[in-house]
């Protein structure tokens, strides 16, 4: 409790100077990072406002290609808000405003720049939501929709739906019932269908917003297995409130608090030997 | 202990009293409909025959029929649906999915809600000035269709918006996150998922329009008509004719009104028979709406 009250001051103290803030954060990921992967997305001095209320404060971090990056932190720390910046979901609602930049490699496009087409970003970056939200259509149509938007038709469509369902480890369970309504699936299957739906269009980054928080432990374990299978093939950013999950699935973990990035580093380091006192207290469950 | 039991018994009595009172209040509606229909059927049943549907009104009550009124009601409803359904649905989609939330859209919303409460005679007066004279459509089927379409537009809009709002935000976000445009989201997701709800609202709106009398009298529907509008399909090219749109017309409720206002009791029987036809139409429409609503609920549960 005390730590939680003291923490914001501590962070504010550290981050008063922009130079001081950005330098360690960048060095943290690029020099100390054990995984020598190229950077897929580079978040630089990202601010986010909802109306006059600033939710993200000067967040800087690197998302490594083909790695799983977990965003952890207590409720309201801005981890979901940060995630939804990557595919410009905030544009759907009025009064939202971005500052800073998210550079998407290899073409170096700034995702949050007003002149960047949010549609293009959403076609290149897939998303899976907290609550399984399949369309009330057939299992096949759920996966096919994104492909149809991209003009895929006929046998190629069928092949790619099958591929996506296989990639999401759902094919064996659904191959004989592709025309059944997706709502007839169990919660865990629905969430894997949502992952298949996102995978079908070959996203460059897959955003997972607390994908297992509405699922039972067995369904959760299957999703985590799936994330593990996708590692090395796909860049994944996962928001989770479950620290054990972050430890199980993430290569890199970023700890956020009150709209700021406190620390980012290899998962093992964050959980066992964090540089910041605040991070150590959070991962040890002393607040949050 | 004894006190507690007495208190329970007292609360039970109050509960029972409301149970009975509520049942009585509910039965008021059912009994009214049953009495109304029963009374009309007893009075007019022996008049309902094939001739009744296929004859024109006449000076002689036993020869009178509702053919022009039926055709008139049908054609007017056709024009009304053609206008009110697409305009109403499009307006609702725009308001819910496209329009920015500001004072102006709130003003429009408030206005639509208010329009639903405007007395229908006012629509008649407005239509007489604007549609009949200013637009020069005269006392025609087209003018009547436009008038009733304006009348039910707020109902269609409100029902469509309600159906759209019952779709959870997550579904919209899912479609948008896949890179759909708003229109693709509406076309491939929102419309199909809310179709039953929209259809229910549209049918209820139409069943209101079919019984409307006042605005049509205001714009000058004839109450005695012994001819049919020109047929829309012709045997000679170009085969399609839109002359019927500018034809004078009558509708069922006006025909009923005309017969009721005659002094001869025999005409009152004819009126009762026509009223039965009208009520059966309305009840059929409403039952369809109910079935659709029920089907929608069982098919999709969010």
- Tell me: the pLDDT tens digits for A103-119? 998 899 999 999 999 99
- Tell me: the pLDDT tens digits for A162-175? 999 998 989 999 99
Asked whether the predicted pLDDT for residue A28 surpasses 50, the reply is: no
3-state secondary structure B153-210: HHHHHHHHHHHHHCCCHHHHHHHHHCCCCHHHHHHHHHHHHHHHHHHHHHHHHHHHHH
| B300·A94 Cβ contact <8 A | no
| A122·B176 Cβ contact <8 A | yes
| A92·B168 Cβ contact <8 A | no
Query: What is the arithmetic mean of pLDDT over A76-82?
Result: 93
Share of chain B above pLDDT 70, in %: 97
Most confident of A129-133, B63-67, B207-211, B290-294: A129-133
The answer to whether residue A142 sits within a structural domain is: yes
- Tell me: the pLDDT tens digits for A235-269? 999 999 999 999 999 999 999 999 999 999 999 99
Give the residue among A203, A197, A208 at the shortest CA–CA distance from A234. A203
Domain tally for chain A?
1
Asked whether the predicted pLDDT for residue B137 surpasses 80, the reply is: yes
At B49 the pLDDT is 82
The answer, for A197 touching chain B at a CB cutoff of 8 Å, is yes
How long a stretch of residues is chain A? 288
The residues pairing with A257 across neighbouring beta strands, listed in sequence order, are: A260
**Nearest CB to B170 within list A119, A126, A129:** A129
Which of A36-40, A228-232, B222-226, B283-287 has the weakest average pLDDT? B222-226
| B177·A126 Cβ contact <8 A | yes
Which of A10-19, B4-13, B198-207, B217-226 has the weakest average pLDDT? A10-19
The answer, for B101 touching chain A at a CB cutoff of 8 Å, is yes
b vs e for A90-123, b when ≥16 Cβ sit within 10 Å of the residue's Cβ?
bbeeeebebebbbbbeeeebbbbeeebebeebbb
Give the residue among B277, B276, B260 at the shortest CA–CA distance from B268. B260
Which of A56-60, B37-41, B59-63, B76-80 has the weakest average pLDDT? B59-63
At B47 the pLDDT is 81
C-alpha distance from A272 to closest chain B C-alpha (Å): 36
Q: pLDDT averaged over chain A?
A: 86
Query: What is the arithmetic mean of pLDDT over B231-250?
Result: 76
The answer, for B179 touching chain A at a CB cutoff of 8 Å, is yes
At B300 the pLDDT is 66
Residues 66-105 of A with CB under 8 A from B: 87, 89, 92, 94
The answer to whether residue A211 sits within a structural domain is: yes
Q: How far is CA A125 from the centre of its chain?
A: 10
Q: Which two tokens stand for residue B216?
A: 């049509």
Asked whether the predicted pLDDT for residue A81 surpasses 60, the reply is: yes
Asked whether the predicted pLDDT for residue A122 surpasses 80, the reply is: yes
Asked whether the predicted pLDDT for residue B299 surpasses 70, the reply is: no
Q: pLDDT averaged over chain B?
A: 88
The answer to whether residue A189 sits within a structural domain is: yes
Contacts of B194 (CB under 8 A, 6+ apart): B160, B163, B164, B166, B167
- Tell me: the pLDDT tens digits for B151-203? 999 999 999 999 999 999 999 999 999 999 999 999 999 999 998 889 989 99
Q: Kindly report the CA angle at B32 between B31 and B37, in degrees rounded to 5?
A: 100
The answer, for A129 touching chain B at a CB cutoff of 8 Å, is yes
- Tell me: the pLDDT tens digits for A190-200? 999 999 999 99
Within 8 A of A147 by CB-CB distance, chain B residues are none
Asked whether the predicted pLDDT for residue A48 surpasses 50, the reply is: yes
Within 8 A of B176 by CB-CB distance, chain A residues are 89, 92, 122
Residue A245 CA to residue B158 CA, distance in Å, equals 45
Within 8 A of A201 by CB-CB distance, chain B residues are 178-179
Domain containing residue A74: CATH number:
3.40.50.300
Q: Which two tokens stand for residue B287?
A: 């039952």
Main-chain phi, psi angles of B137, to 5 degrees: -80, -15
**Nearest CB to A149 within list B178, B192, B299:** B178
Asked whether the predicted pLDDT for residue A17 surpasses 50, the reply is: no
Which of A118-132, A207-221, B101-115 has the weakest average pLDDT? B101-115
The answer to whether residue A24 sits within a structural domain is: no
At B173 the pLDDT is 95
| Residue B248 DSSP class | -
Q: Among 3.20.10.10, 3.30.70.980, 1.10.3720.10, 3.90.1150.10, name the CATH number for the domain at B48-299.
A: 1.10.3720.10
At B140 the pLDDT is 87
Within 8 A of B101 by CB-CB distance, chain A residues are 94
Other beta carbons within 10 Å of B73: 26
Structural domain span for residue A231: 65-91+118-283
Share of chain A above pLDDT 90, in %: 77
At A259 the pLDDT is 94
Asked whether the predicted pLDDT for residue B250 surpasses 80, the reply is: yes
Other beta carbons within 10 Å of A242: 15
| A133·B177 Cβ contact <8 A | no
Share of chain B above pLDDT 90, in %: 37
> Is B73 strand, coil or helix?
helix
Main-chain phi, psi angles of A249, to 5 degrees: -105, -20
The answer to whether residue A275 sits within a structural domain is: yes
With a threshold of 0.85, tell me whether the complex ipTM lies above it. Answer: no
């Amino acid at each position: 409790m005390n730590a939680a009250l003291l923490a914001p001051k501590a962070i504010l103290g550290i981050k008063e100077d922009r130079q001081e803030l950005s330098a360690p954060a960048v060095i943290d990921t690029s020099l100390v990072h054990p995984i020598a992967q190229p950077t897929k997305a580079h978040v630089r001095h990202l601010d986010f406002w909802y109306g006059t209320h600033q939710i993200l404060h000067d967040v800087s971090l690197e998302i490594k290609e083909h790695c799983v990056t977990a965003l952890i932190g207590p409720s309201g720390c801005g981890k979901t808000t940060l995630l939804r910046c990557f595919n410009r979901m905030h544009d759907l609602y009025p009064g939202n405003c971005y500052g800073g930049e998210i550079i998407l490699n290899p073409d170096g496009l700034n995702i949050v720049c007003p002149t960047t087409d949010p549609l293009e970003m959403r076609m290149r970056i897939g998303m899976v939501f907290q609550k399984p939200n399949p369309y009330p259509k057939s299992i096949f149509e759920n996966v096919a929709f994104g492909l149809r938007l991209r003009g895929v038709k006929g046998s190629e469509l069928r092949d790619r739906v099958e591929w996506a369902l296989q990639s999401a480890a759902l094919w064996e369970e659904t191959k004989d019932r592709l025309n059944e309504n997706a709502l007839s699936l169990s919660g865990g299957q629905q969430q894997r269908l949502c992952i298949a739906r996102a995978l079908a269009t070959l996203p460059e980054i897959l955003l997972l917003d607390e994908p297992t928080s509405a699922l039972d432990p067995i369904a959760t374990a299957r999703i985590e297995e799936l994330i593990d299978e996708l590692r090395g093939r796909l860049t994944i950013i996962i928001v989770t409130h479950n620290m054990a999950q972050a430890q199980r699935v993430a290569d890199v973990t970023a700890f956020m608090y009150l709209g700021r990035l406190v620390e980012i580093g290899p998962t093992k380091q964050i959980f066992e030997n964090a540089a910041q006192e605040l991070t150590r207290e959070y991962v040890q469950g002393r607040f949050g | 202990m004894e006190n507690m039991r007495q208190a329970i018994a007292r609360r039970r009595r109050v509960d029972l009293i409301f149970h009975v009172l509520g049942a009585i209040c509910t039965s008021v509606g059912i009994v009214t409909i049953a009495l109304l229909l029963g009374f009309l059927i007893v009075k007019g049943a022996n008049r309902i025959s094939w001739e009744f549907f296929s004859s024109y009104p006449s000076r002689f009550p036993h020869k009178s029929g509702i053919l022009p009124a039926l055709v008139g009601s049908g054609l007017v409803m056709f024009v009304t649906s053609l206008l009110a359904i697409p305009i109403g649905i499009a307006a609702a989609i725009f308001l819910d999915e496209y329009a920015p939330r500001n004072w102006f859209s709130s003003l429009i919303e408030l206005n639509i809600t208010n329009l639903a409460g405007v007395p229908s005679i006012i629509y008649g007066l407005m239509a007489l000035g604007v549609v009949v004279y200013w637009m020069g459509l005269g006392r025609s089927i087209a003018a009547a269709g436009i008038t009733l379409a304006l009348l039910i537009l707020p109902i269609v809009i409100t029902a469509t918006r309600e159906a759209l709002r019952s779709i959870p935000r997550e579904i919209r976000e899912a479609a948008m996150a896949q890179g759909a445009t708003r229109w693709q989201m509406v076309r491939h997701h929102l419309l199909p998922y809310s179709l039953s709800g929209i259809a229910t609202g549209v049918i209820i709106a139409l069943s209101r329009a079919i019984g409307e009398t006042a605005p049509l009298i205001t714009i000058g529907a004839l109450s005695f008509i012994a001819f049919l509008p020109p047929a829309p399909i012709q045997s000679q090219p170009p085969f399609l004719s839109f002359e019927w749109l500018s034809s004078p017309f009558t509708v069922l409720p006006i025909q009923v009104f005309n017969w009721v206002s005659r002094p001869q009791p025999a005409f009152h029987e004819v009126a009762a028979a026509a009223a039965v036809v009208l009520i059966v139409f309305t009840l059929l429409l409403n039952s369809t709406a109910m079935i659709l609503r029920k089907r929608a609920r069982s098919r999709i549960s969010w």
